[in-house]
């Protein structure tokens, strides 16, 4: 199962990289969300998935014998909250950029380098 989830994480990373290299803002945002899910899955796989006994303390013991590792779960929960907040902010930012520039393509959004403007010096 670990190998299948590691391969799925690699597929997520590959698809996210492909989407992030796109020119369209919405594809970039989807790639960023997919990259966050890939990282969460990678952390989950790195936490060693096991089909262990539930973390129930037996009678007479002070700690469970085997149990789930809570650290990767806490990291993933934190990453989900931060990733959702970042995705929401970037979604609003992309929407405002689309409203003001009327373009989704990043090549058409170049306000700092207008076409027909002065060219940079070619030699020094």
Check if the beta carbon of residue 18 is closer than 8 Å to that of residue 30: no
Structure tokens at 98: 């689309």
- Tokens 């952390």 belong to residue: 43
Structural domain boundaries in the chain? 2-51+68-106
Residue-by-residue pLDDT tens, the chain, 124 positions? 678 888 999 999 999 999 999 989 999 999 999 999 999 999 888 877 666 556 666 677 776 656 567 788 888 999 999 999 999 999 999 999 889 888 888 888 877 667 777 777 888 7
Q: What angle do CA 87, 91, 96 make, to 5 degrees?
A: 150
Structure tokens at 80: 């989900």
State the greatest distance between any 2 C-alpha atoms of the chain, in Å, as a whole number.
Answer: 81
CATH fold label, 2-51+68-106: Helix Hairpins (1.10.287)
Q: What is the pLDDT of residue 87?
A: 94
Q: What is the pLDDT of residue 112?
A: 66
Q: What is the pLDDT of residue 115?
A: 74
DSSP per-residue letters across the chain = -HHHHHHHHHHHHHHHHHHHTSSBHHHHHHHHHHHHHHHHHHHHHHT-------S-PPTT-SS-SS---HHHHHHHHHHHHHHHHHHHHHHHHHHHHHHHH---BGGGG-SSS-TTSPPPPS--
Whether this prediction's pTM lies above 0.75 is answered by no
Structure tokens at 31: 């790639």
């Amino acid at each position: 199962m670990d190998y299948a989830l590691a391969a799925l994480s690699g597929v997520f990373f590959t698809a996210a990289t492909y989407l992030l290299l796109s020119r369209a803002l919405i594809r970039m945002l989807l790639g960023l969300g997919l990259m966050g899910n890939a990282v969460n899955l990678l952390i989950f796989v790195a936490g060693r998935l096991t089909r262990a006994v539930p973390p129930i303390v037996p009678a007479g013991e002070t700690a469970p014998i085997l149990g789930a590792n809570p650290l990767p779960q806490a990291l993933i929960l934190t990453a989900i909250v931060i990733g959702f907040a970042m995705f929401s902010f970037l979604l609003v930012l992309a929407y405002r950029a689309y409203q003001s520039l009327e373009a989704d393509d990043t090549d058409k959004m170049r306000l700092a380098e207008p076409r027909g403007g002065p060219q940079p010096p070619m030699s020094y």
